């Protein structure tokens, strides 16, 4: 049997998942304007649970109304999201898969054109994707309010029947903006040294724990390097070390390409190897990036990950775990026709969005 098909029991909380195949969070623009899940979004995720993924992660969902980064985004900031959340959780659970909601706040990447208010961040920041605007620095009380929003959102997800959440600390959104030295230039307790910059994330982890049950899964997704934010591999590894002292259930390293490696303290290792080097078995690890077939999944496991995360292959192949069975054929690679993607459960809106991903959809 492929090792990614073996069950896994989380050491904290003792929840067992039927295999180590994780559908990574993927934005798909299918939610309603007020953040409620659409039937199309519920269907596409349900098909991946039915297709055999042990863990199905939702798209990034904003925990505060003003943390919304793009149109069609899924929201978890109010109880009016509960009916859709409850329906999705029931569907995922029906197929004995574990459902995780990815919680985030866009921060400086929640544009005024979407939210109606100036974007906020750890500091005043401008830059890529901000159309010449700048964020304003959050006040202390506002920081506390957003931390509480994460807690309330997690509680809402649990109430709806989800088994856990993944905190989105990767890819340059608000948590990453606090972690990065370039985007966080505060001089109060929330900025300065990494241990101060990490206080926002640490407080979120604590608050989410306080608002959820003991066996509720709480994971964290991190980028190994985010140079634009001022977050380098040594910051990532120090953050991972600090995470081992918290009540997180897993760390998810967002590699984009599991073959990529980086030099640190005179050694060259892949991102997965570095994360596992620090974790040393103390906390489960998920790794994602360019895993397409059974050999890629094996390679990620050989690098030290416990779970194999996939994005794009899971869009094209709802039953991707089947391709890990011995003797199975290779999953077909992009480009995919709109017909193929429709059969895979994508709505026209999602297919249109996938055209933005180079070479994924046929002309
Ligand atoms: C359409 C699309 C949407 C994505 N949205 C998110 C997201 O909401 N949150 C997130 O953490 N990563 C997001 N990602 C990144 C994926 O989770 C994954 O890390 C990335 O696609 C690399 O894995 P892959 O090579 O298997 O596709 C997205 C990727 C794609 C292709």
Distance of CA 114 to the CA centre of its chain: 21
Name the token pair of 44: 């596409």
Residue whose Cα lies nearest atom 4 of ligand 1: it is: 26
pLDDT per residue as tens digits for the range 45-64: 999 999 999 999 999 999 99
Q: Break the chain into its structural domains and give their ranges.
A: 3-332
Name the token pair of 96: 């004995």
Residues of the chain short of pLDDT 70, as ranges, are 129
Q: Would you say domain 3-332 falls under CATH 3.20.20.70?
A: yes
Mean of the per-residue pLDDT values of the chain: 97
Instruction: Out of 4, 21, 27, 63, give the residue to mutate to test ligand 1, the one with the largest number of ligand atoms within 8 Å of its CB.
Output: 27
CA–CA separation, 132 and 136 (whole Å): 13
| CA distances (Å), origin 270, targets 46, 169, 222, 287 | 33, 20, 15, 11
Atom of ligand 1 nearest to the CA of 354: 1
Nearest to 248 by CA among 290, 282, 200, 291: 282
* Ligand 1 pocket check for 357: Cβ under 6 Å: yes
Residue whose Cα lies nearest atom 10 of ligand 1: it is: 25
pLDDT recorded at residue 55: 99
């Amino acid at each position: 049997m492929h090792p990614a098909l073996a069950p896994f029991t989380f050491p904290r909380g003792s929840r067992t998942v039927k295999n180590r195949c994780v559908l990574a969070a993927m934005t798909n623009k299918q939610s309603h304007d007020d953040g409620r899940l659409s039937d199309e979004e519920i269907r596409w995720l349900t098909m991946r649970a039915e297709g055999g993924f042990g863990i199905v992660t939702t798209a990034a969902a904003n925990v505060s109304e003003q943390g919304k980064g793009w149109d069609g985004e899924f929201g978890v900031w109010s109880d009016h999201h509960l009916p859709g959340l409850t329906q999705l959780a029931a569907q995922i659970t029906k197929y004995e898969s574990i459902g995780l909601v990815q919680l985030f706040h866009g921060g400086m990447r929640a544009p005024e054109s979407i939210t109606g208010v100036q974007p906020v961040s750890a500091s005043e920041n401008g830059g890529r994707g901000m159309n010449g605007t700048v964020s304003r620095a959050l006040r202390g009380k506002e920081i506390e309010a957003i931390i509480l929003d994460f807690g309330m959102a997690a509680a809402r997800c649990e109430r709806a029947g989800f088994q856990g959440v993944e905190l989105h600390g990767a890819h340059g959104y608000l948590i990453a903006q606090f972690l990065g030295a370039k985007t966080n230039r505060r001089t109060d307790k929330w900025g300065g040294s990494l241990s101060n910059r990490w206080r926002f994330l640490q407080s979120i982890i604590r608050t989410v724990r306080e608002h959820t049950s003991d066996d509720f899964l709480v994971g964290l997704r991190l980028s190994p390097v985010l140079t634009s934010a001022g977050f380098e591999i040594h910051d990532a590894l120090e953050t991972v070390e600090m995470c081992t002292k918290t009540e997180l259930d897993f760390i998810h390293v967002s590699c984009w390409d599991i073959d990529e490696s980086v030099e640190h303290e005179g050694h060259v290792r892949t991102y997965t190897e570095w994360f596992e080097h620090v974790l040393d078995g103390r906390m489960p690890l998920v790794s994602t990036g360019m895993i397409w077939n059974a050999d890629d999944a094996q390679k990620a496991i050989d690098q030290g990950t416990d779970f194999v995360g996939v994005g794009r292959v899971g869009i094209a192949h709802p039953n991707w775990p089947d391709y890990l069975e011995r003797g199975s054929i290779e999953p077909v690679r992009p480009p995919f026709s709109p017909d193929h993607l429709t059969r895979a459960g994508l709505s026209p809106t999602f297919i249109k969005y996938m055209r933005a991903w180079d070479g994924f959809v046929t002309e």
